Amino acid sequence: MDQHDDCQRHIWTKKTVDQLVATPCETIQLCSSQGSIQTINKELLCYFSKYYRAALNGRFAEAHQQLFNVDLSGQQLRVFTAWIYTGQLELLKWNREDRLMLYVFADFAEILALRRQIMTEEGRMERYKEVGLAITHLPDNSPYRRRIVDHYARHWKTADDRYDGWHPKDDAIYRGFWYQVWDVQAQEGWFKQPKCPCCRNPCNYHEHVNEEEWEATCGQLARSKKPEEKFFLRSDH
């Protein structure tokens, strides 16, 4: 498989999915934390997930395993299963925790296409509960965490707290988060930009390695814009 074909794993396309499901294939069962089970085409799961590709196609015991436990609720697992077949995230705007935990799962299972689709959604601000979950479940360099900081730095207002019923219990976690927010504001002179990074281009948070990889993936999509230079993962682009 050449590099261009491999890049296609990084975005969901109907053409690719139709080709994969058209061929008879084994299935894998995923079991949620609540005990509900979803059955998924093995080739489809392995195509998008580097983690399951290694587990199911390797020489380890997992290669013969038919059932995998996942750290998702029944609802979240149903949304994931629907997404892998249809490319649609069946979530409402206020399903913030479900969206975040699906991203956490995609980070664990190395499903870049799902992470990118979640980061493409616009106009949302995570409440404090989701901020805390992101901090405790995702690495410091996670694009999801970076977007939360960027969004708060440019859009948060004191009045927003009136609508947030969650009261942080671990001040140390949130203190570090606010230091990051204030640092971004200080660097930009404490003013709101009309075209901030968190709103003007989702590809800034899509983990594109370089311009070539962007062109082979999101660059093929209508209305997609190339990430700003600082958002590429490598400098040798």
Measured on CA atoms in the order 109, 115, 117, 118, is the torsion positive or negative? Answer: positive
Q: What confidence tens digit (pLDDT) does each residue in 54-91 have?
A: 999 877 656 678 899 999 999 999 999 999 999 999 99
pLDDT in single tens digits along all 237 residues of the chain? 444 457 889 999 999 999 999 988 899 999 999 999 999 999 999 999 999 999 998 776 566 788 999 999 999 999 999 999 999 999 988 899 999 999 999 999 999 999 999 998 765 678 888 999 999 999 999 999 999 999 888 888 877 777 776 666 667 788 889 999 999 888 876 555 556 777 778 899 999 998 888 888 888 888 888 888 888 886 443
Structure tokens at 97: 């925790």
pLDDT for 235 equals 45
Measured CA angle at 145 (ends 51, 73), to 5 deg: 55
| Contact yes or no for 70/36 (Cβ under 8 A) | no
Considering the entire predicted model, what is its pTM?
0.89
Helix (H, G, I), strand (E, B) or coil at 23: coil
CA distances from 71 to 54, 106, 116 (A): 19, 11, 20
- Enter the tokens of residue 67: 């059932």
pLDDT value of residue 220: 86
Please choose, from the candidates 50, 218, 194, 46, the residue with its C-alpha nearest in 3D space to the C-alpha of residue 119: 218
pLDDT of residue 66: 87
Spatial strand order of the sheet with 67-69 comes to: 37-41, 27-31, 67-69
Per-residue pLDDT at 146: 92
| Residues 6+ away with beta carbon under 8 Å from 153 | 181, 182, 184, 185, 188
HSE-CB at 232 with a 13 A cutoff on CA atoms is 16
Instruction: List the domain boundaries for the chain.
Output: 1-93
**Fold type of domain 1-93:** Potassium Channel Kv1.1; Chain A (3.30.710)
What are the helix (H) ranges across the chain?
3-7, 14-22, 42-48, 50-57, 74-86, 96-108, 112-120, 128-137, 143-155, 171-187, 197-200, 211-216
pLDDT of residue 172: 79
Residue 125 Cα to chain centre, angstroms: 15
